[in-house]
Chains A and B, each alone.
Chain A
Amino acid sequence: MEKQLKVSAIKNGTVLDHIPADQLFKVIDILGLNNSENQMTFGTNLESKLLGKKAIIKVSEMFFEPSEINKIALIAPDAKINIIHDFEVVEKRVLTIPNEINGIVKCMNPMCITNHQAVETKFTTISDKPDFQLLCRYCEKTTDRKNLKIISNL
């Protein structure tokens, strides 16, 4: 019997697979999908050998710049990005954590100016996944993976 897809296929667009199930809404938030008018389907708590439970996002007619899509590497480092044309996968992308991260992550230092005034956070990545650290441009303290908090746009 032919294997049935839990989330239906798209003709053209981007598929984001292998997202940890508990990070789905953060990924939607980071990519600003809540403000998009494109057709999209989400599946979550799907079985995954790699993650236990995974989520998947399929967005029609939307293609992301690497600098944009790489932002989700902070919370979904193993996500697979497939570019679809005419129902076929034409490109697979692997995520890498960007060298600079602006306005997504909260600085973990409670005395940092970014936690008190309307200042956009800016970080430099100082080591690579899975154990990266983010160096705050302002207070010069590092925020690690364990203390990572995403600033919500929702």
Chain B
Amino acid sequence: MPKSLISIHDFSRDEILHILDLAEKFEKNPFQPVLKGKIVACIFFEPSTRTRLSFETAANRLGTRIIGFSDAGNTSVSKGETLKDTIKMVSNYADLIVMRHPLEGSARYASEVSSVPVINAGDGANQHPSQTLLDLYSIRKTQGRLDNLNINMVGDLKYGRTVHSLLQAMSHFNPNFVFTSPEELKMPQEYKSYLNKLSIPYKETKELKDCIKESDILYMTRVQQERFTDAIEYERVKNCYSLNAAMLEGCKENMRILHPLPRVNEIATDVDESRHAYYFEQAGNGVFTRMAIIAYLLGQ
């Protein structure tokens, strides 16, 4: 079975650092057609804007050709073709598969039946490891290091897959975590137990204002209305987790605000002009990171 990227824990600390180093080289020189002649299949069984476009941009910059679909409705899937058969067929055509699928675990299964590497571009609410790698890349680029950082995760820490994967990936680098969330959306116990086992310190708070000053990274996520059973509770909470420029007063010079995007209310537009805002550059880093992942899995 060829090496695939399905979950962030498929990659060791050394592999993660290798990917980030590669991404840095691609950022310095983004036009490197080192994979000319290869074919990348981008098969998206559900809609995506940023992820699909950034994977396609990355593959183009590496000089590959791209095949695929962005809507399963026009494919044999609508005739009832199983995922196994689709993957068997596509892996005969392409050298690497980038897949997004609404079912959790679909990417792991695809990697088991595929004869070529598979990159998980999101399997339902489960994993989205290229997002995690681009988060790590953004953190290292803005802080100059990954070790011993104060990471403050804010918002939906219960259902947000990006915070769970980032927590696992950062655990290699001796972090200090703050979890800022409403009671309903607290970090699940299984992740706190995971940190306890590794003796990684964390504290929990409901107040966003509490821990901004000591943070190196403020990782914002969207608080989604559909997660609340009580509409009044949502109205109360949504503004508590809305960051505005005034709240940044007194924060560390090196502090940067990340967000996996799209954002809605959680970061006011007056923050966009702040030197601490980094979420748009973060999205741009996705291309270099994905170039690095593709190149690594294809043996470059």
Does the CB pair A119–B109 fall under 8 Å? yes
Q: How many residues of A contact B (CB 8 A)?
A: 16
Q: Is B260 an interface residue (CB 8 A)?
A: no
Q: Do residues A111 and B127 form an inter-chain contact, with CB atoms below 8 A?
A: no
Given A117-B82, A141-B104, 5 more contacts at CB 8 Å? A113-B103, A117-B83, A117-B109, A119-B109, A138-B109
Collect the chain A residues with CB atoms within 8 Å of residue B108's CB. 137-138
Bits for B97-118, please: 1 = Cβ < 8 Å to A, else 0: 0000011111011000000000
Residue numbers in B under 8 Å from A95 (CB-CB): none
Type the 1/0 row for A111-153, where 1 means its CB is closer than 8 Å to any CB of B.
Answer: 1111011110000000000000000111111100000000000
Chain B minimum-CB-distance residue to A137? B108
A116 to B77, CA, bound (A): 13
Name 14 interchain pairs, CB-CB below 8 A, sorted by A. A113-B83, A113-B103, A113-B104, A113-B105, A116-B103, A117-B103, A117-B109, A119-B109, A139-B123, A139-B126, A140-B7, A140-B105, A140-B126, A140-B127
Query: Given A113-B83, A117-B82: A138 and B105 within 8 A (CB)?
Result: yes
Quote the shortest CB–CB distance from A133 to chain B (angstroms).
Answer: 9
In the complex, number of A-B residue pairs with CB atoms less than 8 Å apart: 47
A109 is an interface residue with CB less than 8 A from chain B:
yes
Nearest opposing residue in chain B for A133, CB measure? B190
A123 to B221, CA, bound (A): 31
**What B residues does A139 contact at CB under 8 A?**
104-105, 123-124, 126
The distance from the CB of A35 to the nearest CB of chain B, in whole angstroms, is 27
With a cutoff of 8 Å between Cβ atoms, the chain B residues found around residue A111 in the complex are: 102-104, 124-125
Query: Considering only CB atoms, which chain A residue lies closest to B9 in the complex?
Result: A140
Chain B residues near A113 (CB-CB < 8 A) = 83, 103-106, 109
* Contact residues of B between 94 and 149, Cβ < 8 Å to A: 102-106, 108-109, 123-127
Q: Is the CB of B104 within 8 A of A138?
A: yes
Question: Could you tell me the distance between the alpha carbons of A8 and B123 in the complex, rounded to whole angstroms?
Answer: 54
User: In the complex, how many residues of chain B place their beta carbon closer than 8 angstroms to a beta carbon of chain A?
Assistant: 17
Nearest chain A residue, comparing its CB with the CB of B101: A113
Q: How far is the CA of A74 from the CA of B238 in the complex (A)?
A: 43
CA–CA, A91 and B84, complex, Å = 45
CA distance A117 to B7 in the complex (A): 21
Of all chain A residues, the one with the shortest Cβ separation from B82 is: A117
Task: Tell which of A109, A117, A118, A142 touches B104, judged by Cβ atoms closer than 8 Å.
Answer: A109
Q: How many whole Å from B21's CB to the nearest CB in chain A?
A: 28
Contact of B190 among A119, A137, A142 (CB under 8 A): A142
Min CB gap B133→A, angstroms: 18
In the complex, chain A residues whose CB is within 8 Å of the CB of B127: 140
Residues of B within 8 A of A109 (CB): 104
| CA distance in complex: A116, B84 (Å) | 12
Specify which of B7, B105, B109 lies most central, judged by the most chain A CB atoms within 10 Å of its CB: B105
A119 to B104, CA, bound (A): 12
Output the least CB separation between B293 and chain A (Å). 20
Contact string, A61-79, partner B, CB cutoff 8 A, digits 1/0? 0000000000000000000
Chain A residues within an 8 Å CB radius of B82: 117-118
Would you give the shortest CB distance from B132 to chain A, in whole angstroms? Answer: 14
Q: Which residue on chain B has the smallest CB distance to residue A126?
A: B190
Complex interface residues of chain B between 71 and 107 (CB less than 8 A to chain A)? 82-84, 102-106
Q: How far is the CB of B268 from chain A (nearest CB, A)?
A: 34
On whether the beta carbons of A117 and B190 are closer than 8 Å, the reply is no
Q: A110: nearest residue on chain B (CB-CB)?
A: B104
A28 vs B126: C-alpha distance when bound (angstroms): 35
- Are A112 and B190 in contact (CB-based, < 8 A)? no
Which A residues are CB-close (under 8 A) to B7? 140
